[in-house]
Structure 1
Amino acid sequence: MIARSTLQLFYPLRRFDVLKKHRAKVDPYLIAALIRQESAFSERARSPAGALGLMQLMPKTARRMERVSKRELFDAKTNIRLGVKYYSKLLSKYRSDAELALAAYNAGPEKVDEWLKRYETSNRILFLDLIPFKETRDYVALISRNYYWYISLYADKSSKKPLKFKALRFHN
């Protein structure tokens, strides 16, 4: 058995005060899971594609939501606010389907819409397996795993109501 303190090293919970401010829009543990995958909580993270900050926002995507400079995307509060705003829009677009919203966050909503038309199925596991981008398939699975651990390690047991994933079910 791995000690809880060891697991917490692998699944750190940084900037949780900022994440909790946005809990009305998105589960803060899901945002922590997303940040862990996107940047490993590095505020200065920069991807080869040009995504910036904790939630790895593309400057063009961020500017569609708010007038913001590239430099401002390295500010944790700004990056989280805009990242949550964007993910929340994706959740609305995909009717609270966390997996589709995560796939869209990674590959773009245009791609997810294309895949939904191409692979018409109500079986979420099959749909996720049919996503043609390995990176996106892995991304959804890894964030789902991260989310499980954040809920298990940090959520108040009496109020723990994990997000409903259609393909994955978490049991504690």
Structure 2
Amino acid sequence: MSWFRKKRVLLVLLISFVAVLFMNNIWMTWLYPIYYKDQIREHAVHYEVDPFLVASIIRVETNYKPGKESKRGALGIMQLMPDTANWAMEMAKLPTVTLDSVKHEADANIQLGTWYIKKLHDEMDGNPIAVIAAYNAGPGNVRNWIKKGMWDGTYEDVKNIPIGETRHYVQRVIYYYNQYTDVYDTF
């Protein structure tokens, strides 16, 4: 076999390998991993929340790194503000969850964060885009934006969210949500 023919065969093999790789979702799980699947699944089922939404929020908030504390004081893997966490612990009646466990234990943080997403889901009349915005900017802000007609609560109108950080946050969470639902058949 001539040198040129060998190169063509190798090129065809390489292209075939890459094509098979891209047609297979398994490699995509390396780019879009989901950690803490069992905890996310358990709490999402318990609180009737989409587990891909929880995973997407975690990915944007901390990229699955527990023990984080933001410059503003948000705690843990789902970046709950201490006041929100204390209020949620009281409302959800979770006596075993403490502020320290919210900061340092992924399971406690995921439980409380998932409960909070469910609460926001109820407050935002089931609108998942408004839930994402409220998780970042607070439900009062989101209700005001919608009430005043500044934003209609849809993803198509996300450019009208008056806070750039929240606008970008919603876009990133939806991006990861779409990636996760494309890559993973089930949770």
1:54-93 paired onto structure 2 within 5 Å:
54-66=77-89, 68-73=97-102, 74-93=104-123
Runs of 4+ in 1 over 6 A off after TM superposition: none
Q: Which one has a bigger Cα radius of gyration?
A: 2
CA distance in 1, matches of 2:114, 2:153: 27
Local SS of the residue matching 2:43? coil
1:20-99 paired onto structure 2 within 5 Å:
20-24=41-45, 25-66=48-89, 68-73=97-102, 74-99=104-129
Unaligned runs of 5+ in 1: 161-172
- Kindly report the root-mean-square deviation, in angstroms, between the aligned alpha carbons of the 2 structures: 2.1
Local SS of the residue matching 1:132? coil
Name the TM-score, length of structure 1 as normaliser. 0.82
Task: Note if contact 1:119-1:130 (Cα within 8 Å) is conserved in structure 2.
Answer: no
Local SS of the residue matching 2:44? coil
Name the TM-score, length of structure 2 as normaliser. 0.76
Task: Note if contact 2:133-2:166 (Cα within 8 Å) is conserved in structure 1.
Answer: yes
Residue 66 and residue 99 in structure 1: after superposition, are their counterparts in 2 closer, same or farther (change >3 A)? Answer: same
Residue 121 and residue 55 in structure 1: after superposition, are their counterparts in 2 closer, same or farther (change >3 A)? Answer: closer
Q: Which residue of 2 aligns with 1:170?
A: none
Identity %: 34
The structure with the largest helix share of the pair is: 2
